Structure 1
Amino acid sequence: MLLNILKEISDLVQIVQGISLGHIISGKCSYFFDIVFLLSMRIRLYCLPLYTIKTSMNKFLALTCAVVFLLKTVKAEIITYKAPESNLVNHTIKVDVRQGTGNWQPVDVYTADVAARFDAQRIIKKTAFTYFDCSGSVKLRVKLNQGNIKEVRIRPTAYGIKPEVKGNVVEFELSASQYVSLEVNGNIFENLQIFANPIESSHPTKADAQTLYFGPGIHKIGRMVIPSGKTVYVAGGAIVEGSFVIDHAENVRICGRGILTQHPVQGDSVNPPNTTGTFSKFRNDHLIIQNSNNISVDGIIELPTGYSILIGESKHVKISNFKAFSATGNADGIDIFCSQDIKLDHIYMRNSDDCIAIYGHRWNYYGNTSDITVNNAILWADVAHPLLIGTHGDTDHPDTLQNIRVQNMTVLDHNENQLDYQGCISLNAGDSNLIRNASFENVEIEDIRKGQLFNLRVMYNRKYNTSPGLGIENILFRNVNYNGKRADMSVIAGYDDKRGIRNVIFENLKINGTLIFDKMPGKPSFYKTSDMANIFVGEHVDGVQFLRKD
């Protein structure tokens, strides 16, 4: 009987071998769940003699086993996109991808500007990136136009990816949804960023009247305002030169796998945005979302000259599977002003200013900022902060920035010479604003070039503020791990007796493998625990704790 059941299961599995995960997700394979049912029945027949359990539990067990079994046998899928010939294409690095022992598929490579130095002398370097979609794990083959490869590292290092080097060829495996940086001989500028996107579950077509569709190729749009109810689709292999504005709109979606850029795509000039009439009130940022509701951005890559995304006085905004590079002054990543219910998930930001900034009032944006979630973020700040909260506010009508939750964040770099703007995680209350109820969990900080791990200050920066901040309270750092030697001393400091910091908890803070907590072994009795973490705790600070929890 058992042999017969296994034979039937084997026959069903052979059918499944030809089904791609993309077809299952999109609903194109209508018989998939019929197979799940048949397999569950066969597995149930096998399970019943072994376990005497209630019928309902047996059905659940059988179906679970069947689904797990199927997902392990479904064929992985790879989707690549041909690049249009443009200034952005990189011809010196060759990348191929395959699943298992299948045929290698070429993947085109692009260039992006990054800031190698940004002070009295500005130096711009060309980094490289490539993208494709996949399900399951894939193997990459990268051929580099250089010899004498002494060292190759793939970051985030927490992924544990071990490359194999053969001459000038590097091979390694990636999983779907992993974004990584491949660096040769310690070169962090002329590196290769690889974005293994998940397979799109569905996408709009040109025929959809509510869709602005940009197919493969080059499109020059200047500055485009997107009205309510529209979907903008930027297909893989598309390059859109220009910028988007979502102003007083709702139910707008921008998605796809292509590239948006404010840099010239062909030749050496770019069509400037219209700055007259209706457009004169807008900044020249790449994507502006202001006074809007229910907006989503998914899957695209941006190469901006201003902010990658500005979110001002808006609600219910979700940014996911998003990547961006910048190299100019004040070219922040995602900046949030006076907004609520903002979700950032699965992003890779390499910027020449703050990667993520969460603010109160500035310009024409007013109100509190709350309920901000950042999850699965990889941040690389060639200048300024990876993550900044505070700074801007409304002295006459003080703002509160609250209910901010950051999880699963990796900081690949932080490089800032100015002491006022250091901190991989920086909470700087200014303009009478109050920062409270913020948590940072599962944070990996790699060996940054220059800066602090933490900078918590109630401050009065006369360049940007009209008054000191009101305070910072109820802050949790849980499972923060730093490995490196170059971080400067961190700072926690209030302003005065009425503008202080209270209730800051570090739980399972680990620095170079050492767990920092109040009763840690080896700490001299006359040391403060903060000394062991190289954190200066100044005046007007109360309730700082270093805890260990299993």
Structure 2
Amino acid sequence: MRLLLLFVFCTVLVKANPVQAQTRLQTYTAPKGALLNDDFTVKVRIPGQKWQDLPEYLVKVDEVVNAKHTVKDASMASFDFSGKVEVMVTYNKGAIETARIRPLSYGIQHQVDKNNLTFTLDQPRNLSVEVNGDIFHNLHLFANPMLEFVPKKNDPNVIFFGPGIHEFKDQKFNVPSGKTVYISGDAVLRGQLLIHDARDVKVIGRGMVEHTVKMGVHIANSQNVLVEGIFLTQCATGGSDNVTLRNIKSISYYGWGDGLNVFASNNVLMDGVFCRNSDDCTTVYATRKGFVGGSKNITMQNSSLWADVAHPIFIGIHGNSVNPDVIENLNYVNIDILDHKEAQIDYQGCLAINGGDNNLIRNVRFEDIRIENFRQGQLVNIRIFYNPKYCTAPGKGIENLLFKNISYTGNNATLSIIAGYNEERKIKKIVFENLKINGEIIHDKMNGKPAWYKTSDMAGLFVGEHVEEVSFINTENRNTENLLK
């Protein structure tokens, strides 16, 4: 009888505390000789348990002032968890007057006590913790999901980088076909990982390719590739098929520091990535850099983008003007854009499609994208153009674009642009569904729009020549309206 009562009591406890039963936390130590930054001290714990210290790594970011690039020292820390954890960030340079945790859409509440900031997380997040308005010496905090699979070190198909700093001859390591590369959370690589002419390759873990290495991972002419969970500066994909980039963190600080380039590739998924870059965060091009052909079936989702220079999202400028390419079936879904800073008007646009080199660009969807108050640039830049600096011909056409549930909160956006090239090179069929600017939906039947205005005028959007079928619709309350009829 006593055993039965004990079993019932324990069962009730487990059912009453499901979160506590599932909570797990994994932290890592920095290897000797790793590059660190002491601006912050970061600790994490399961509620009620002991605080665990995290290493605070040095990363570098790019600030542009009056066309001059200045490299700044920022911080990065990471850990893995499930369930719920508490985080304490100590600012070691003085008192915390103001603080924010971004993306703002996450709504993470925090408490400040002198130079300590605390908050709780109940799901994995890639965050920027900013103190006293400083976005260039901030803390990039990557709270990862638990790593459920760690390959065996002695598996002949596994290349295992355990704790420590790993340097390669000529600063390059070629990954053969059929291999899984594991980079543990306390491992630092000082050299590129090259996935060239390979297939069935995985690069997984919680470690990093150090920020000193430009183009940390490079994928070329390969199939069936997964890169997951690691930190790096850049990861380009060219001439490849069936590539997944999941929960990778890209931070760059030098010229031409694009984050996630796609060249002449098909079936590429970027899921849960964080990009803060000194050039375009993510691009899709056709023929470029020796890779030949169009690009199709490209998806980025559940991600955060921060462009210290150029575009958060950029599509279409490069191709083959002699044998024209097609870029098609692109999806950008559930994305937070944290910043956009570009003084050159030709290279502005959080969501930018610039058709060049006789490219035909079609079937592009932007959905559930939240744009914060960026520093300088445009919301949208859709153009067919001839840019002789980068192109040998104007683009052929752009058609079938959907902008659904796009929101912008801020006051720094300048005039957005949609413009074709001539009667043979047009932009056709663009739908803005529930475009929300500072809380107001811009649509063709909106209140307060003078009858003689274009709806685009209300959005600060110039629709130029050789553009056809642009509509602004409001479907946010359609279901409610139908119920009331």
The verdict on how the C-alpha distance between 1:88 and 1:526 changes in structure 2, with shifts beyond 3 A counting, is same
Equivalent in 227, 234, 253 of residue 327 of structure 1: 253
Moved more, 461-470 or 112-121: 112-121
Question: Match for 1:313 among 221, 239, 247?
Answer: 239
Is 1:182 equivalent to 2:129 in the alignment? Answer: yes
Give the CA deviation at 1:173. Answer: 1.2
Listed one character per residue, the Cα deviations across residues 7-36 of structure 1 (whole Å, up to 9, x for unaligned) are 85542355x5xxxxxxxxxxxxxxxxxxxx
Alignment of 1:234-313 (within 5 A): 234-261=183-210, 263=212, 285-302=215-232, 304=233, 308-313=234-239
Does 2:441 align with 1:511? no
1:545 aligns with 2:471: yes
Distance 1:162 1:317 in 2: 36
Matches within 5 A, 1:91-490: 91-117=38-64, 120-221=67-168, 222-261=171-210, 263=212, 285-302=215-232, 304=233, 308-490=234-416
The amino acid that maps onto 2:151 is P
CA distance in 2, matches of 1:184, 1:91: 14
Q: Name which of 28, 35, 42 aligns with 1:88.
A: 35
Shift of 1:137: 2.0
Q: Which string of whole-angstrom CA distances, capped at 9 and with x for unpartnered residues, describes residues 503-545 of structure 1?
A: 1000001001111111001111111110111011000001111
Residues 39-54 of structure 1: pairs in structure 2 closer than 5 A: none
Instruction: Say whether the 8 Å CA contact 2:250–2:276 is kept in structure 1.
Output: yes
Q: Is the 8 A contact 2:44 2:53 kept in 1?
A: yes
Find the counterpart in structure 2 of residue 278 from structure 1: none
For residues 157-197 of structure 1, give each alpha carbon's deviation from its aligned partner in whole angstroms, at most 9, with x where no partner exists.
Answer: 11111210000000111233211111111110011111100
CA–CA distance in structure 1, aligned partners of residues 291 and 73 of structure 2: 35
CA 1:5–1:499: 2 relative to 1, 3 Å: farther
Distance of 2:290 and 2:464 partners within structure 1: 35
Q: CA deviation at 1:363?
A: 2.4
Give the fraction of aligned pairs with identical amino acids, expressed as a percent: 43
Structure 1 pair 411/9, CA: closer, same or farther in 2 (3 Å)? farther
Distance, in Å, in 1 between the alignment partners of 2:397 and 2:456 is 20
CA deviations over 1:351-371 (Å, ceiling 9, x no partner): 000000100001211112000
Q: Distance in 2 between matches of 1:5 and 1:336?
A: 61
1:494 aligns with 2:420: yes
Q: Which residue of 78, 83, 86 corresponds with 2:25?
A: 78
Query: How many pairs are equivalent?
Result: 472
Q: 1:79 to 1:414 in 2, by over 3 A?
A: same
Between Structure 1 and Structure 2, the one with more helix by share is 1
More off after superposition, 161-170 vs 148-157: 148-157
Quick check: 1:443–1:481 contact (8 Å CA) kept in 2? yes
Which letter does structure 1 place at the counterpart of 2:315?
I
Letter in 1 for 2:231: I
Whole-Å Cα distance in 2 between the matches of residues 245 and 87 of structure 1? 22
Give the aligned partner of residue 450 of structure 2. 524
Mapped contact 1:242–1:262 kept (Cα < 8 A): no
Q: 1:118 to 1:210 in 2, by over 3 A?
A: farther
Amino acid paired to 1:496: N
Please tell me whether the aligned partners of residues 59 and 211 of structure 2 are also in contact (alpha carbons under 8 angstroms).
no
Q: Distance in 1 between matches of 2:470 and 2:245?
A: 33
Per-residue CA distance 1:44-76 (angstroms, 9 max, x = gap): xxxxxxxxxxxxxxxxxxxxxx8xx78545230
Relative to structure 1, the CA distance from residue 6 to residue 413 in structure 2 (aligned partners, 3 Å threshold; closer, same or farther) is farther
Query: Which letter maps to 1:238?
Result: A
Provide the TM-score with structure 2 as the length reference. Answer: 0.94
In structure 2, how many angstroms separate the alpha carbons of the residues matched to 1:10 and 1:548? 54
1:426-468 deviation digits (Å, cap 9, x = unpaired):
0011000011001011000000000001000011110010000
Instruction: Work out the CA distance in 1 between the residues paired with 2:304 and 2:246.
Output: 12
In 2, Cα distance between the equivalents of 1:466 and 1:10? 75
Q: Name the CA shift for 1:9/1:295 in 2 (closer, same or farther; >3 Å).
A: farther
**Mapped contact 1:155–1:182 kept (Cα < 8 A):** yes
Task: Give the letter for the 1:204 counterpart.
Answer: P
- In 1, the alpha carbon distance for the partners of 2:294 and 2:59 equals 35
Is the contact between residue 316 and residue 341 of structure 1 (CA under 8 Å) also seen in structure 2?
A: yes
Q: Distance in 1 between matches of 2:314 and 2:460?
A: 20
Greater C-alpha Rg: 1
Unaligned runs of 5+ in 2: 477-485
